[in-house]
């Protein structure tokens, strides 16, 4: 930013808000085309890593449209103190004659990028459900080493977790027919397919939360993606009861069984007990019993009961046959129009409580058991659960199952998703009860073998890799002030929430060798003259999908970027990094945008003629001026 550049009329064409909005929309479409990368922020503190050399020494340039896109987000999302600090760094960078200045967005103390808010990128609320190999978990409870479901339909290891405080906008993403939202910050990426007509072949892109468009009628909108999962075929396996309950192992009639610990001649808590085989086969009958218990079972410290309508006695008889196989005593008891099957065994009671929970609001599948089952085995549990707690099916709906356990509802959502069936999750506030109700609903049109009758249609789309459901709505909260979380995933950089596939990676530079080397050789001469260090291109960054970025790619993206910049009214010969060009450092763009011409002239004079102390005074004074201006604008807005 030199003295001759200070006349803004010679720099900036008149740009309307409508023209700028259209250009930034095109810019984000272009960003979606550029492959996401991995390796940059993960390698900062690793042994043999980069130690953030790029962020500490490089000062990247952007075009004007890119500057305005970033600045718009900063004004919406950042606190005033953060904005003022960014402006201070911008003034410091401009006044410095050092060749090496570093990026104004890099926080040296926190060692994170404030532009992308990475290391890793933190953007989901604490109670976001994430699909893991042992069932859904709140993101705040996930630890490094856990395995989460990713966009490729496979489970990948969590490398690191992180959280930070966020104050500002959050966006609630609501899939079609569901009431359970996933809240994220504005520039968190979602995998979607944007189109008007669902009959077209879906084409996925990563889109920021604040750029998503709800799908309505025949208008263009986004379909949220969920990954298809390959069948994981497992044979029936043996459940070791001692993994879930403690007790004394005894051998009765040649079979190892587990019974409560005794004290002298009396049993534990002095009540009649029954032993349970230490090994139980997890077959269709056992899975059926688990599903019915999740719907209609309850346990005390000494007994477990299954309660169903008298007309559903056949289901209880099926459970009784399983109990007979393992010599576990039971009895039936009639209660009005219901029939109760009761098992008086403290060991069996503890086993069922640990496997499935004991109060209706706490029902869920134990994580180790969930992990041990195949998709098909888990689906059999869902079918049995739907028998107990399901409402009557109709022409449109195949399954409609109710629970007051949110965790159980989300577990059933994951069970259906990994069986390539999209369910809707509805929630109903119970005003006179302490717990909300959750309904897991599966339309007939969501089933893989569905064949529509004349006049019927489905809003769900499929391809070889994903299931797609329309984005129904986006809710906004401009006043969120609290923690947000994110994960770093090995070899995938994505994970699955209740609202679809999300992704935290950001774009870091990969320049083709034939493009990079000539620049490197020119800069080497300049840096050597100034006595500064210059490093070769970082080899720690690669594209997530493993594809090479070629000079042809770079040229194509740059040409598109130039066209977007030109759409604002700039001449193409001005779109370069020469004096007066629109390809500038962010701090140059920011100061030209914020300061009038006389202030720019004063800054340029201080830069050229000022002493170190005068430059420091200028930084302090100009920062104070802008802070007051922002505070006044904020007060005016509030009034």
What confidence score (pLDDT) does residue 420 get? 92
Cβ neighbours around 535 below 10 Å, total: 12
Residue 76 has pLDDT above 70, yes or no: yes
Q: Could you tell me if 418 and 554 lie in one domain?
A: no
Q: Could you tell me if 442 and 522 lie in one domain?
A: no
- When pLDDT is averaged across residues 460-477 and rounded to a whole number, the result is 91
Residues with Cβ within 8 Å of 444's Cβ and at least 6 positions away in sequence, in order, are: 395, 396, 397, 398, 450
Greater pLDDT, 515 or 144: 144
Q: Could you tell me if 532 and 418 lie in one domain?
A: no
Angle of CA points 289, 360, 260, to nearest 5°: 60
Greater pLDDT, 387 or 454: 387
- Residue 522, in any domain of the structure: yes
CATH of the domain at 326: 3.10.28.10
Ranges 264-273, 418-427, 542-551: which has the least confidence: 264-273
Percentage of the residues of the chain whose pLDDT score is greater than 70: 81
**Where is the domain boundary, 415, 446, 477?**
446
What confidence score (pLDDT) does residue 456 get? 47
Chain CA centroid to CA 332, Å: 48
Give the model's confidence band at 213: pLDDT under 50 very low, under 70 low, under 90 confident, else very high: very high
SS3 172: strand
Q: Could you tell me if 527 and 419 lie in one domain?
A: no
Give the model's confidence band at 271: pLDDT under 50 very low, under 70 low, under 90 confident, else very high: very low
Segments forming the whole domain that contains residue 399? 237-446
Give the model's confidence band at 379: pLDDT under 50 very low, under 70 low, under 90 confident, else very high: very high
- Residue 219, in any domain of the structure: no
In sequence order, which ranges of 211-336 are alpha helices (DSSP H)? Answer: 284-296, 313-325
Cβ neighbours around 107 below 10 Å, total: 14
**Where is the domain boundary, 428, 446, 464?**
446
- pLDDT tens-place string over residues 477-535: 988 888 888 887 888 879 999 999 998 644 344 445 555 556 556 555 655 655 555 55
Ranges 14-23, 59-68, 89-98, 118-127: which has the least confidence: 118-127
CB-count burial class (<10 Å; 0-12, 13-18, 19+) for 213:
middle
Q: Could you tell me if 438 and 299 lie in one domain?
A: yes
- pLDDT tens-place string over residues 234-264: 788 999 999 999 998 998 888 999 988 763 3
- Residue 372, in any domain of the structure: yes
Cβ neighbours around 279 below 10 Å, total: 15
Report the number of distinct structural domains present in the chain.
Answer: 2
**Where is the domain boundary, 421, 446, 471?**
446
Q: Could you tell me if 255 and 355 lie in one domain?
A: yes
What confidence score (pLDDT) does residue 347 get? 93
Q: Share the mean pLDDT of the chain.
A: 82
- Residue 487, in any domain of the structure: no
- pLDDT tens-place string over residues 220-233: 999 999 999 988 77
Cβ neighbours around 310 below 10 Å, total: 12
Residues with Cβ within 8 Å of 593's Cβ and at least 6 positions away in sequence, in order, are: 67, 71
- When pLDDT is averaged across residues 148-152 and rounded to a whole number, the result is 95
Give the model's confidence band at 350: pLDDT under 50 very low, under 70 low, under 90 confident, else very high: very high
- Residue 456, in any domain of the structure: no
Q: Could you tell me if 254 and 351 lie in one domain?
A: yes
- Residue 296, in any domain of the structure: yes
Greater pLDDT, 407 or 71: 407
- Residue 178, in any domain of the structure: no
What confidence score (pLDDT) does residue 40 get? 66
- Residue 65, in any domain of the structure: yes
SS (H, E, C) 42-54: HHCCCCCCCCCHH
SS (H, E, C) 108-156: CCCCEECCCCCCCCCCECCCCEEEECCEEEEHHHCCCCCEEECCCCCEE
Give the model's confidence band at 183: pLDDT under 50 very low, under 70 low, under 90 confident, else very high: very high
- When pLDDT is averaged across residues 92-102 and rounded to a whole number, the result is 78
């Amino acid at each position: 930013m030199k003295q001759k550049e200070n006349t803004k009329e010679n720099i900036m064409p008149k740009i309307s808000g409508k023209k700028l909005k259209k250009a930034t929309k095109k810019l984000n479409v272009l960003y979606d085309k550029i492959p996401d990368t991995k390796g940059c922020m993960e390698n900062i503190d690793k042994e043999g890593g980069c130690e953030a050399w790029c962020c500490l020494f490089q000062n990247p340039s952007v075009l004007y449209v890119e500057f305005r896109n970033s600045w718009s987000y900063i004004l919406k999302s950042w606190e005033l103190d953060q904005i003022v600090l960014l402006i201070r760094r911008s003034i410091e960078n401009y006044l410095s004659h050092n060749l090496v200045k570093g990026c104004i967005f890099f926080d040296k103390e926190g060692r994170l990028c404030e532009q992308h808010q990475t290391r890793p990128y933190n953007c989901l609320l604490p109670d976001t459900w994430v699909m893991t190999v042992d069932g859904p978990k709140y993101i705040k409870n996930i630890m490094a080493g856990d395995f989460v479901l990713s966009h490729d339909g496979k489970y990948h290891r969590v490398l690191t977790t992180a959280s930070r405080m966020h104050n500002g906008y959050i966006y609630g993403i609501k899939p079609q027919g569901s009431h359970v939202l996933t809240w994220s910050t504005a520039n968190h990426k979602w995998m979607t397919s944007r189109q008007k007509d669902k009959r077209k072949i879906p084409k996925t892109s990563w889109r920021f939360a604040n750029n998503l468009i709800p799908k309505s009628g025949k208008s263009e909108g986004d379909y949220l993606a969920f990954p298809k999962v390959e069948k994981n075929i497992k044979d029936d396996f043996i459940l070791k009861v001692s993994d879930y309950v403690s007790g004394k192992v005894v051998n009765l009639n040649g079979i190892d069984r587990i019974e409560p610990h005794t004290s002298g001649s009396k049993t534990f808590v002095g009540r009649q007990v029954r032993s349970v085989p230490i090994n139980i086969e997890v077959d269709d009958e056992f899975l059926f019993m688990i599903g019915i218990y999740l719907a209609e079972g309850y346990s005390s410290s000494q007994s477990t009961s299954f309660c169903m309508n008298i007309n559903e006695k056949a289901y209880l008889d099926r459970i009784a046959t399983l109990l007979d196989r393992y010599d576990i005593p039971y009895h039936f008891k009639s209660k009005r129009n219901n029939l109760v099957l009761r098992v008086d065994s403290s060991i069996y009671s503890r086993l069922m409580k640990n496997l499935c929970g004991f109060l209706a609001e706490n029902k869920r599948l134990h994580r180790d058991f969930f992990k041990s089952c195949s998709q098909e085995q888990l689906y059999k549990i869902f079918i049995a659960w739907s028998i107990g707690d399901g409402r009557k099916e109709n022409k449109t709906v195949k399954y409609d199952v109710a629970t007051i356990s949110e965790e159980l509802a989300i577990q059933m959502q994951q069970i259906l998703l990994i069986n390539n069936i999209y369910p809707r999750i509805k929630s109903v506030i119970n005003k006179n009860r302490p717990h909300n109700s959750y309904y897991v609903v599966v339309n007939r049109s969501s089933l893989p073998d569905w064949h529509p009758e004349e006049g019927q249609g489905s809003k769900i789309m499929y391809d070889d890799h994903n299931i797609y459901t329309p984005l129904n709505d986006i809710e906004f909260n401009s006043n969120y002030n609290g923690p947000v979380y994110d994960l770093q995933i090995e070899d995938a950089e994505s994970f699955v929430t209740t609202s679809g596939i999300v992704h935290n990676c950001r774009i870091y530079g990969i320049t083709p060798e034939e493009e990079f080397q000539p620049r490197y050789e020119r800069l080497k001469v300049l840096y050597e003259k100034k006595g500064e260090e210059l490093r070769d291109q970082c080899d720690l960054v690669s594209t997530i999908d493993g594809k090479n970025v070629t000079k042809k790619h770079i040229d194509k993206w740059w040409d598109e970027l130039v066209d977007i910049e030109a759409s604002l009214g700039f001449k193409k010969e001005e779109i370069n990094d020469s004096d007066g060009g629109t390809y500038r450092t962010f701090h140059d763009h920011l100061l030209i945008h914020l300061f009038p011409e006389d202030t720019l002239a004063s800054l340029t004079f201080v830069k050229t003629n000022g002493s170190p102390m005068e430059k420091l005074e200028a930084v302090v004074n100009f920062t104070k001026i802008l802070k007051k201006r922002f505070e006044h604008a904020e007060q005016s807005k509030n009034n």
